[in-house]
A and B are shown apart, each in its own frame.
Chain A
Amino acid sequence: MRYLWRLLPLAFILLMAGCGKQNLSALDPQGPVAAAQFDLIKLSLTIMIIVIVVVFAIYLFVIIRFRERPGDTHIPKQVHGNKALEVVWTVIPIILLLFLAVPNVMQTFTLAEVEDTEDSVRIVVTAHQFWWEFEYPEYDVVAGQDMYIPTNTRINIELEASDVIHSFWVPALAGKQDNVPGITNEMWLEAPEEGVYQGRCTELCGEGHWLMDFQVIAVDPDTFETWAQNMATTDDDVEEETTVAVEGREVFEQNCISCHAVGGEGGNMGPNLTNFGEREVVAGFLEYNDENIADFIRYPQEKKPGSLMQAFPQITDEEMDALIDYLDSLKVLD
């Protein structure tokens, strides 16, 4: 029975681990940073469950043992206190906290070590209302919404913001750091496994805050190199496969290019669309299909409240089909 008590925190943690969606939950870490943080969460929870068990046990004993029984009118002894007990419940918590404080300080410093090495990849993440921009200075690449990273590589991240404060969070890979206007923050993360990890903004940033999602896409290093090279190649040779897509490109150049860049051309008011055709989701959260793309282009605020994108209700169905064909064709990985 005594051993069972000791297992209680463990059982609770096991129950907790694996909760939620795998590529989203902080309780199912997919990289070393999130794993270190989850270890600290487990350590703190274990210590805290010990505290809870002790307090609750005394509490239950007291309220059952010393409850007023019917007919009981005795006046209890008016005890002033007990110095030894005061010392006990001062010192024991201090010791318990040291078990948590020391590993925490060590981890806090480890997580703050952001240094470039030969293999590391640096990404400048700029948050905007309500989308994400990922710049790869070593590759001269700018991408929007999808953050491609090579697996098993240390990713050093610089965080910036163009308007209000945002916060960069990929729970399965690493805890968050804030994107603060005027200040550059740094963090690092690593993903051992290929996969798509959900990221989102966690600092209230306006109307579209709740939809300011992005994806971190971890691919093997070779694929990443290809991706980066192709993204960097300026792009007159993006080949449209159909004539419809050629028409679509015209529509794009008339309406979209002042804000959205493809290859090296175009504005930077909105996300870079060079690899749009490879997105899994539109605008960070909508399923990638023709209908959603068309709706978002025509009425972006209906899909994402507060979106700063201009609405294009005037684009005809024909033009839209062409445009979507063109957007579909924007791929850098084959």
Chain B
Amino acid sequence: MSNTNAQTKSVVWDWLTTVDHKKIGIMYLVAGAFFFALGGFEAILMRIQLMFPEATFLPAQTFNELLTMHGTTMIFLAAMPILFGLMNYIVPLQIGARDVAFPFLNSLGFWLFLFGGILLNLSWFFGGAPDAGWTAYVPLSSEYSGTGIDYYVLGLQISGAGTLIGGINFLVTIINMRAPGMSMMRMPLFTWSTFVASTLILFAFPALTIGLLLLMLERIFGATYFAVASGGNVVIWQHLFWIFGHPEVYILILPAFGIFSEIIATFSKKRLFGYSAMVFATLLIGFLGFMVWAHHMFTVGMGPIANSIFAVATMAIAVPTGIKIFNWLFTMWGGRIQFTTANLFALGFIPSFVMGGVTGIMLATSAANYQFHDTYFVVAHFHYVIIGGVVLGIFGGAFYWWPRMFGYRLNETLGKIFFWMFLFGFHLTFFVQHFLGLMGMPRRVASYLPGQGLDEMNLISTIGAFLMGVAFIIFVVNIFVSMKNKETSGDPWDGRTLEWTIPSPTPEYNFAQTPLVRDVDALWYEKYEGEGSMKAAEPLGDIHMPNGSILPVIISLGLFIASFGFIYHDDGWTWVAIVGLVITFGSMFVRSIKEDHGYHIPVDEIKKGGK
């Protein structure tokens, strides 16, 4: 308890108003995990429907809504927020900072994401979920769909604003708040990949924002950007969507690469092989990621010149990705590899992701893509990179940082059962889908006819999906079963980086004294080359902390309310939109005029090591 600005808060109020990057990180993780479970449930429903030909478990319309919501939820509401949670918690610790650069904005970013996600999912209860795929191609999504798409447009716009805010916040934090001695080329790879991913967010999300804005104006206010009859063009939407959408893939995978770099180095007990090559490869992937969007559109009729250029550019991405794979392998080479659950995920990732990568090159072959495109081959490919890369990265990161974040270790036995079942289920589900696609099964089909040789593989795929579902339940059980194994050491894995230099549980102010960084693996260097613990870069003193605020919740709530006004403005709900916007802009005004200097944690309390 601070005595300079003592506030006794209830637990709920504390979490609603917190601007602490660690609590916000945990909220991202919890919300993301909820949406991950929801998206997974949607996937299971679809796999049940596809288990047998001509099944009638789900009507086609519901199936289209499920496939749309599964994709949208997994990308925007599960994968990104979970990664944001890890970034939020870990990056400030890895760079020796006490918080992110803009704690208030950090909170705002989270609440915008959460309210956007809730808005999107409420569509299920108000006239049906969006049904045009997560890509929402016009004109299916503009002139041929119901209000579900309005929820999609506004929900993603709100949560997208949160993501953009979060991305900018990470950029500023990483540029400005590194501890003394931590040059850019001494940053841990997870921080590097967060930096590059945030840059991608900064440049990619505006394209989505514009696309969604045009679609909103068209759907809600009768504009005609995409209406062919009025001179509109439907392909523009695809360009805007993929100028965002392709970098989005790297926004997801680069942080996962960062996580694996940390895990593999830690559990091989070796410095990352080719650190600068790894950094360079990350930057190059990020840069090339913006040059390849049209490979999602080879069949839309761009002509052979554009198709060839985008095909070759896409193939080029394989080179830096290959550099990373080989550097990981050579990090392990000569090391002492420990098979902890976290490392199992990293080891499972390498072959799985390579398989997703090679099908990526096959898809980049434009002339052959005419066969692959929009079939189950594509479904198999992107699940191999997203589950085999991002999801395995998330779980690996969870097992690795769990003691840091929650003060206890996850059970290793349950963890390993979970890993093997999940990995086996994943390959069972998606490997066969490569063949389904080439044998003539398009993606996004609500069912398929018997007698086309597709039955057995679909059944196998569904069995795999169930295994993944059961495995996830084991993971959830593990979280609760392990709670009693309190971790007292701040450095349970013989870690290499700054997040392992502080006591467990993590103090509110992170570092009593800002550490002095003398090598890439700052902690490892001090442990094995220095005196065993971090040198301090400053004397002990009072620590300045920001005050919490409820305003981020209210700002986000205002936009949430306003959205209903926009969606139902034809039914005379315009006033709701006005009320919502007044709430939002009013709170922003209050925030602007209210002076808030934060508070100090006195040095005595820091000496005691308490909160």
Contacts and interface: CB of A to CB of B under 8 A. Distances in A.
B interface bracket (residues with beta carbon within 8 Å of A): 35 or more
A202 B373 contact: yes
Interface stretch (B14-22, B302-310, B410-418, B591-599): B302-310
A206 B143 CA distance: 12
A313 interface: no
Contact of A40 (B59, B61, B368): B368
A49 B362 CA distance: 11
Interface string B284-304: 000000000000000111011
Contacts of A58: 326, 329
A183 B339 CA distance: 56
A63 B337 contact: yes
Interface stretch (B95-103, B155-163, B270-278, B506-514): B270-278
A56 interface: yes
Interface string A151-186: 000000001000111010101001111101111011
A208 B439 contact: no
Contacts of A176: 299, 370-371, 373-374
Contacts of B359: 48
A56 B367 contact: no
A interface bracket (residues with beta carbon within 8 Å of B): 35 or more
Contacts of A101: 311-312, 315
Contacts of B372: 175
A163 B67 CA distance: 22
B472 interface: no
Contacts of A76: 268-270, 334-336
B370 A37 contact: yes
B239 interface: no
B366 A108 contact: yes
A51 B355 CA distance: 10
Nearest to A56: B351
Interface stretch (A67-75, A214-222, A246-254, A319-327): A67-75
A21 B140 contact: no
Interface stretch (B84-92, B442-450, B555-563, B581-589): B442-450
A195 interface: no
Given A20-B439, A21-B440, A305-B61, A182 B311 contact: no
Interface stretch (A89-97, A232-240, A262-270): A89-97
A1 interface: no
Given A26-B439, A177-B299, A285-B449, A204 B133 contact: yes
A97 B330 contact: no
B234 interface: yes
A206 B319 contact: no
Given A26-B371, A76-B336, A104 B330 contact: no
Interface in B553-576: none
Contact of B323 (A24, A90, A97, A305): A90
A198 B440 contact: yes
A111 B370 contact: yes
B61 A180 contact: no
A59 B330 CA distance: 9
A157 to B, nearest CB: 12
Interface string B59-95: 1110010010000000000000000000000000000
B235 interface: yes
Contact of B439 (A19, A86, A205, A206): A19
B139 A165 contact: yes
24 contacts: A21-B452, A37-B367, A48-B359, A49-B358, A52-B358, A56-B351, A58-B329, A63-B332, A79-B273, A85-B330, A90-B319, A105-B312, A108-B366, A108-B367, A111-B370, A159-B301, A167-B299, A169-B442, A175-B368, A176-B371, A176-B374, A204-B140, A209-B64, A210-B447
Interface of B: 59-61, 64, 67, 132-133, 137, 139-140, 143-144, 228, 232-235, 268-271, 273-277, 299-301, 303-304, 307-308, 311-312, 315-316, 318-319, 322-323, 325-327, 329-330, 332-339, 347, 350-351, 354-355, 358-359, 361-362, 365-375, 435, 438-440, 442-449, 451-454, 524, 528
Given A20-B438, A63-B347, A176-B371, 14 more contacts: A16-B438, A44-B362, A55-B350, A68-B339, A89-B322, A97-B361, A164-B144, A165-B137, A178-B300, A178-B301, A205-B140, A209-B60, A209-B442, A210-B60
